[in-house]
Chain A
Amino acid sequence: MSLKDMRRSRLGFLRALVIAGRSGRVTRRYPYEEPLVTSDFRGKIDIDETKCIGCGACVNACPPNALELINTRDGYVSLRYFVGRCIFCWRCIDVCPTGAIKGTREFELATNDISDLYDIIVHEPNRCRECGKLFSTKRMGDYVVTKSPLVENYVDLDPDCRRNRFLKAIENRFGGRVG
């Protein structure tokens, strides 16, 4: 399509009127009409609290750290989703082990108060049966046991107590002291 092939005429620019007339008005009057959103559009995510186990796989996969595990009070752990920083990549949906996260097509997210943009899922923590400390979440413990029933003895102990038990078992078996 080089310049030589295109026929040039003096009033050729008036063709723009023909083009404009033929296209007509293409505006979609959005708030009063349906917008042009396809069914593949990636919008805000929705976390189902009946399935979330608080494992943090989504937290590791999220590039901008929009999903975070925060401590709300001593030992209580919550999953916080900050819509303001989300990049809508849906990687969290790819990696969630229980399928608790679902994608929606919502894009009408504007607000004048930034605290509207936080979604929080509050979890029940596990309590160690030896020292009473709070750690991880109860749901996570249940999930781990369903996947590998062997660990049922350990799931109620927090990591420090677990380690001490294991060291004690070595001492009993082989003698000596493990410092």
Chain B
Amino acid sequence: MDAISKYIETIKAVEPRADIHVSDDTVYATVSSSKLRDLAKAIYWDMDCFFRTCAGSDERSINGFYALYHIFGDDHNGLNIVLKVYADPNNPTLPSIVDIVPAADWCEMEARDLLGIEFSGRKQYRLILPPYWPKDLYPLRKEVSYDVKPQVIISSEKVGFWDRTSAGVAIPIGPYHPALHEPEYFELYVEGERVVDVRYRGFHVHRGIEKLGESKLTYQQVNFVAERICGICGFEHSVCYAQAIEKAAGIEIPERAKFIRSIVLEVERIHSHLLWIGVAVHLLGYDTGFMHTWRIREHVMIIAEMLTGSRKTYGINLIGGVRKDINEEKKQRVLDVLKIVEKEFTELVKTMVDVPQIMKRLKGTGILPREDARKLSVVGPTARGSGLDRDVRRDLPYAAYSYVDFNVPVYDDGDNLSRFLVRVDEVYESISIIRQLLDQLPQGPIMIEEFDIPEGRMAVSVVEAPRGEDIHFVITGRGKPYRWKVRAPTYQNIPALRVMLRDQPLADAPLTIASIDPCFSCTDRVFIVDKNGYKKRLDPILYRWR
């Protein structure tokens, strides 16, 4: 309780009239917008918290205002701090905190695109919606229906339009490129073989998930939508959403359900890391490694199908528990397969480490220094490869993670090799966690049938995905969520690419982009557009590129 009182004191010192209430592991504070910047500085730098996300919400039907929630996280004490500010409904304007908290750049622009909240004191640009989207149509406002489709005028895109004061030749990569599985557009500016700058135009995968979750679907149906935010890390999105609603409504699920969720989460982590290792060595040219890694991964997909019913997008999660049980025969089969996977994986990694081109190309490329990683609040193996010791499974334990022991691998170099080794180590840790969980599996029911979800409750839920921490923020409504915000891990990691790609040879660029394990469908679930039909400009405040 000491940490919570310290936060309450800090907030009251800056803004004595703040309205604070504490629920579980989250401190909610409603403050006035004039004190927002001082509070952000106090919490982010003085109390050494990390920035999680910010979510805008249209609450005009409840209290007549727009609201913006800034969510910070304190990993050492396992807390979340939510600052809420109100904006005037006729002319919503709020002060921006981007110069104090550089990590807040994208989510402020997202709130501007979808709700129309303007931010003063910063350069604004369109981020999510396509170029021809009308200027006054804000999809997330409550009066706009989820299926409004403006006139589709197909405009052609311009390449390399950026003003010629920037040096170098523009090389477009994407959106459809053989090295990429997802549509994303990178423009690399090169001088000779060296990359001097990069621009990113993404958000090709925006499908309007948050709006759908708030209008057309019911509570139990949103689980299935959440699972399809990403095909590789889908289950953890579904667990995160279910946990958020269960926290908000105060539902306590049976112990056996928590264990089953944790087991399937770790199975997903193993399959995702094996996938990444295969793709990374394929990008380096070592296809033998790619084929053998995916051969080993096939065993993991078969036990996932046996445990849940489908190779991917498992669909076993519901609010109140899970739908499918584990019996003794399945348990034995899982343990046998894990033994095979561990043995073959060790042998394969030993072989790959001896291949000269892999080590030479991984070591010393794509460096992300520790201070930049802290400023941008990166997450996951990207952070652990740069010396930041952050793991949500250990700091804010959820599901059954408080019952198991595991190590968190951290490497200090910050290059591609560190991120590779972090993931290799995590595969071994996951295998050990599954063995411990299967050993301690308690008896009992797997689902609660009767429960009630009251209106107007808020909750923040954080889960460690294979790529980093994933945050879902919900406000409950009647029969369906009132506001559902998803911040996927890659969203937080992409701005770090600018640092990593600077002054690198061009040939290392695909591997560096792949080393943060980008999952653009997680990132793009929101819409971002550039107002003039131009591509999104990356923020100049950090590095003075214009």
Contact = CB atoms under 8 A, between A and B. Distances in A.
The answer to whether A and B touch directly, with their CB atoms under 8 angstroms apart, is: yes
Given A1-B425, A16-B292, A19-B347, A9 B306 contact: no
Given A2-B421, A19-B347, A38 B354 contact: no
A41 B309 contact: yes
B292 A19 contact: yes
A91 B344 CA distance: 38
Nearest to A65: B216
A61 to B, nearest CB: 7
Interface in B285-325: 288-289, 292, 295, 302, 305-310, 313, 315, 323-324
A26 to B, nearest CB: 6
A157 to B, nearest CB: 29
Nearest to B223: A63
Contact of B350 (A6, A11, A60, A63): A6
Interface string B102-143: 000000000000000000000000000000000000000000
A7 B315 CA distance: 43
Interface in A1-45: 1-3, 6-13, 15-16, 19-20, 23, 26, 36, 38, 40-42
B424 interface: yes
A94 B324 CA distance: 12
A89 B315 contact: yes
Contact of A40 (B221, B292, B306): B306
Contacts of A2: 421, 425
| Secondary structure of the A contact surface, majority rule | loop
A13 B355 contact: yes
A35 to B, nearest CB: 11
Interface residues of B, number: 38
A99 B205 CA distance: 38
Nearest to A15: B351
B315 to A, nearest CB: 5
B401 interface: no
A38 B306 contact: yes
B305 A38 contact: yes
A43 to B, nearest CB: 10
A8 B295 CA distance: 24
B184 to A, nearest CB: 25
B217 interface: yes
A15 B428 contact: no
Nearest to B221: A63
A87 B224 contact: yes
Contacts of B62: none
A15 B309 contact: no
Contacts of B306: 38, 40
B225 interface: yes
B270 to A, nearest CB: 15
B302 A63 contact: no
15 contacts: A2-B425, A6-B350, A8-B353, A9-B354, A15-B350, A15-B351, A20-B292, A36-B302, A40-B324, A41-B310, A42-B309, A42-B310, A63-B221, A91-B224, A94-B323
Given A87-B315, A89-B315, 17 more contacts: A2-B425, A12-B353, A13-B352, A13-B355, A15-B351, A16-B289, A16-B351, A20-B292, A38-B306, A40-B305, A40-B309, A61-B221, A63-B224, A87-B228, A87-B313, A91-B220, A94-B323
Interface of A: 1-3, 6-13, 15-16, 19-20, 23, 26, 36, 38, 40-42, 60-61, 63, 87-91, 94
